[in-house]
Amino acid sequence: MIGEKVSIMQQGKHTVTDDFIPLHNGLGKEFKTVTAMIDIYCRAHHRTSTTCTECESLKHYANVRLDRCPYGESKPTCNRCPIHCYKQKEKAMMKAIMRFSGPRMLLHHPLLAIRHLIHERRKEVPAKPPKHRSNRYIRLQQQD
């Protein structure tokens, strides 16, 4: 399932990738931001021209977590979310990636960085996510 080439493009309301689960609107934008951060970190720390297998597997893990997020489209940024959905190892890795890549995002991907900062400050975090809002639930309902 892990591919060497990952291309992200917008197609309608969904973010489409070669090997990833399609994510709706806001979740697709968040996934693009996470993917960009992982790419910046991997190039600097693992010194490879493409994303290494460890970082690629973290992208897939993040994709699945976003797909199954109970908040769905109204998801707050991870640091403001009351639900901790990442396993301990992946959470530590993502934290290191975000600390390293966060400041560098303004240079490499300024629009994604600014959009992320606005999103982080703008949204109130709902106490309890509404039922049936996850991307996975919506995606499976559309297939039926």
Report pLDDT digits (tens) over 118-139. 888 876 777 778 788 889 888 8
Residues 50-106 have pLDDT tens digits of 889 999 999 999 999 999 999 888 888 887 888 888 999 999 999 999 999 999 999
What are the tens digits of pLDDT across the range 15-53? 434 578 998 878 899 999 999 999 999 999 998 888 899
**pTM of the prediction?**
0.80
SS3 content of the chain, % helix, strand, coil (to 5): 60, 5, 35
Closest C-alpha to 28, from 138, 144, 143: 138
* The pLDDT of residue 12: 35
Residue-level pLDDT at 1 = 34
Asked if residues 105 and 37 have their Cβ atoms less than 8 Å apart, the reply is: yes
